[in-house]
């Protein structure tokens, strides 16, 4: 998502202030997952894995062809951070009007950090469409390519516990509420890839 700030000026001969305001108007804040954000293959995964940018887009909007429901986290996360984002943008604008270019970058960075934190908090908070049985079973069966042993990460262990408890009669709703099949946080690669960039046009 892109955030921008615009100030109009009148008069002439403002010197440093005029230059700082011009810099402010050229500056953009981008929050999200870079399109080329590399993702390491998961244990047992073959071929070149899709980037975090691709996965993030699919999670945000869903993919009907893959029967993948939307699990929006980026836009809601940024919206939730708007009060804090505005504080950073105000800092940038105040810096421009004071003729302090460094405050512009600092203000945008402040806004970006708050946005990223909010997006990641949204991912952790959950409340997304539950994982499909196929995905849970794939997590549970995941093995290391070199040893053939089952992966021992927490998401993989949780998936095996999910299937075991389900077989014993525990309702799926209880298992999902217990966090044994959490979307978006499998390897935390997507979580860690959320970032912000401050750039000038």
| 81-120 pLDDT per residue, tens | 999 999 999 999 999 988 888 899 999 999 999 999 999 9
Burial category of 31 from C-beta neighbours within 10 Å (exposed 0-12, middle 13-18, buried 19 and up): buried
Tokens 């949204």: give the residue: 122
**CB distance 140 to 158 below 8 Å:** no
- Tens of pLDDT, residues 11-52: 555 578 888 888 899 999 999 999 877 787 777 667 788 899
Q: Tokens at residue 68, please? A: 């993948």
Provide the 3-class DSSP secondary structure of residue 132: coil
pTM of this prediction?
Answer: 0.85
Residue extents of the structural domains in the chain: 2-129+186-200, 130-182
CA atoms within 13 A on the CB side of 121: 12
């Amino acid at each position: 998502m892109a955030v921008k700030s615009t100030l109009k000026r009148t008069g002439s001969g403002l010197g440093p202030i005029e230059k700082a305001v011009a810099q402010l108007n050229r500056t953009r804040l981008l929050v999200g997952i870079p399109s080329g954000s590399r993702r390491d293959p998961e244990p047992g995964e073959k071929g070149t894995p899709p980037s975090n940018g691709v996965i993030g887009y699919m999670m945000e909007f869903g993919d009907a062809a893959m029967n993948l429901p939307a699990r929006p986290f980026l836009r809601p996360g940024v919206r939730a951070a708007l009060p804090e984002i505005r504080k950073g943008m105000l800092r940038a604008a105040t810096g421009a009007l004071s003729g302090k270019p460094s405050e512009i970058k600092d203000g945008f960075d402040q806004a970006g950090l708050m946005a990223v934190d909010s997006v990641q908090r949204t991912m952790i908070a959950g409340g997304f469409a539950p994982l499909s049985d196929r995905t849970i079973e794939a997590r549970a069966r995941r093995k290391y390519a070199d040893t053939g042993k089952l992966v021992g990460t927490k998401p993989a262990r949780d998936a095996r516990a999910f299937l075991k408890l389900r077989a014993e009669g525990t309702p799926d709703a209880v298992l999902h509420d217990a966090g044994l099949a959490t979307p978006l946080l499998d390897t935390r690669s997507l979580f860690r890839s959320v970032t912000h960039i401050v750039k000038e046009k």
